[in-house]
Amino acid sequence: MTPQPPSGFIRLNRYLARAGVCSSRRAADVLIASGQVRVNGKVASLGARIGPNDVVEVNGRRVVPQTEALYILLHKPHDTITTCHDERGRKTVLDCLTLPPEQKQGLFPVGRLDRNTTGVLLLTNDGELAYRLMHPRYRIEKIYVARTARPVTPHEVTLLRKGVLLEDGLARAERVSVNPADPHEIALMLYEGRNRQVRRMLEALGHEVVHLKRTHYAGLTTQGVRPGKWRRLSADEVRRLYRMVGLVPPKVFKPLPNHGTADTH
């Protein structure tokens, strides 16, 4: 019989993912193998298990995972950077969250929206879930609504469905629809998540994008959440995300205690 680890011990790679140091256990293994991780002052080895009294450091800085996972839906506003810190002092998505510093630690955005793209953005400290949601293998639906300076033609809709050649390869939308009452408004559904993909696809057809919003991400929307505001995901929403990427949903979902009310209005 294989001996069982002591109660309260977890694998180091999982510990690092939960601390927000890495986006997945696989990435944590790479970090460990590089020798940048120490446990109780000694260089860590792959497969190491961490107990409640162990001290874990990455490049000399101690890391501690959140005791509970946190899942935030933000209605990203205009002129906001999708990152945790900005060296130039610009507003970031973490600045939108009215949370105490200890809850923001380890929190990071799942994927990116460029500075002037608005809409639904998920933030979490759950590295394994985030990694799978961003991986193209799981074909996570993303719906964008763009407003263009000139009308979109039926021929251009066909091109967007078939694929537009960009500098990093062919890019196509799974579904495309133009507002019949306003041909300046177009909706695109993608599985991919390349940098500025929707803007670049439309610009490749000669369009100037006046405004771009992501209205859906993995079934999540900004309904009831004003720009710049946020809310925590419900237990059902978290379980659904887990199932979408082939993970076993938590049997019991225990959200972090509220420090004030989630800012939705």
From CA 111, how far away is CA 97, in angstroms rounded?
17
Active-site residue, from 29, 54, 95, 114 = 114
Sign of the four-CA dihedral 88, 89, 94, 99: positive
Q: With contact defined as beta carbons under 8 Å apart, do 12 and 27 qualify?
A: no
CA distances from 233 to 65, 105, 165, 219 (A): 20, 18, 37, 12
Contact by Cβ (8 Å): 171, 194: yes
Among 68, 59, 55, which residue's Cα sits nearest to residue 12?
55
Q: What's the N-to-C CA distance of the chain in angstroms? A: 56
Q: Which of 145, 199, 151 is nearest to 171 (CA)?
A: 199
Phi and psi at residue 65, to the nearest 5°: -75, 155
Distance between CA 173 and CA 49 in Å, rounded?
44
SS3 57: strand
Letter for the amino acid at 86?
A: D
Whether 236 is catalytic is no
User: What positions carry a catalytic annotation?
Assistant: 114
